[in-house]
């Protein structure tokens, strides 16, 4: 277990420089979704505005990361770190959204995500944006409150702030499905 956590931390430090503190899921996938909902614990929650399995742990991680730095233009990595993963496994948030749509795991246009859901925006560029819904109309996102370019801060903000401040288009939400390999 210690070797796995040390290796993951070393990979983060070597590939992008020093990152903000993060929680690693060294015990496997107990609080994250498997590659497909049929294999894991993340089926679509009953009713809008529910809570995804493992969301309590993810929200606790998200709130611990608020105030940190080192996530400049690394929204997919921040979302993955919130769900206990060292990386997203996708090239960008836009690619992750396309994959969720292709596998029928996306909820396009649904503005009532369950707690813990990944929420996605079209930014007009190739990368898109993803954040994590933590309940009560709030998300944890990177960059939105930065006063210094490249700061990569982590912020707890209102769900609607991304659209109003950045002028982007909300796409919808998806459960946090990450590869188990």
What is the CATH code of the structural domain delimited by 2-174? 3.90.1720.10
Both tokens of 142, joined, read: 């990177």
Residue 80 and residue 146 in contact, taking contact as beta carbons nearer than 8 Å: no
Tens digit of pLDDT for each residue in 47-86? 356 889 999 999 999 999 999 999 999 999 999 999 999 9
Nearest to 68 by CA among 133, 6, 134, 141: 141
Residue 113 vs residue 12, higher pLDDT = 113
Give the residue-averaged pLDDT of 79-103. Answer: 96
Give the residue-averaged pLDDT of 7-26. Answer: 32
Q: What does the pLDDT read at residue 51? A: 87
Q: Given a cut of 60, is residue 30 above it in pLDDT? A: no
Among 92-106, 128-142, 167-181, the minimum mean pLDDT is found in 167-181
Distance set, CA 85 to CA 70, 77, 115, 124 (Å): 16, 8, 18, 27
Q: Given a cut of 90, is residue 31 above it in pLDDT? A: no
- 1 burial (CB, 10 Å; 0-12 / 13-18 / 19+) is exposed
Tens digit of pLDDT for each residue in 108-158? 999 999 999 999 999 999 999 999 999 999 999 999 999 998 999 999 999
Q: What does the pLDDT read at residue 180? A: 64
Distance in angstroms (rounded) separating the CA atoms of residues 158 and 51: 18
């Amino acid at each position: 277990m210690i070797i796995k956590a040390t290796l993951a931390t070393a990979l983060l430090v070597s590939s992008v420089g020093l990152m903000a503190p993060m929680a690693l899921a060294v015990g496997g996938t107990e609080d994250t979704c498997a590659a497909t909902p049929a294999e894991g614990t993340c089926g679509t929650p009953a009713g809008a505005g529910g809570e995804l399995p493992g969301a309590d742990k993810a929200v606790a991680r998200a709130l611990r990361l608020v105030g940190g730095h080192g996530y400049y233009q690394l929204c997919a990595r921040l979302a993955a770190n919130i769900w206990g993963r060292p990386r997203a496994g996708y090239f960008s948030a836009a690619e992750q959204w396309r994959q969720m749509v292709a596998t029928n795991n996306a909820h396009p246009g649904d503005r009532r995500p369950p707690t813990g859901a990944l929420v996605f925006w079209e930014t007009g560029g190739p990368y898109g944006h993803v954040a994590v819904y933590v309940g009560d109309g709030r998300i944890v996102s990177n960059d939105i409150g930065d006063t210094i370019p490249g700061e990569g801060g982590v912020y707890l903000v209102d769900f609607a702030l991304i659209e109003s401040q950045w002028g982007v288009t909300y796409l919808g939400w998806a459960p946090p499905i990450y590869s188990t390999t």
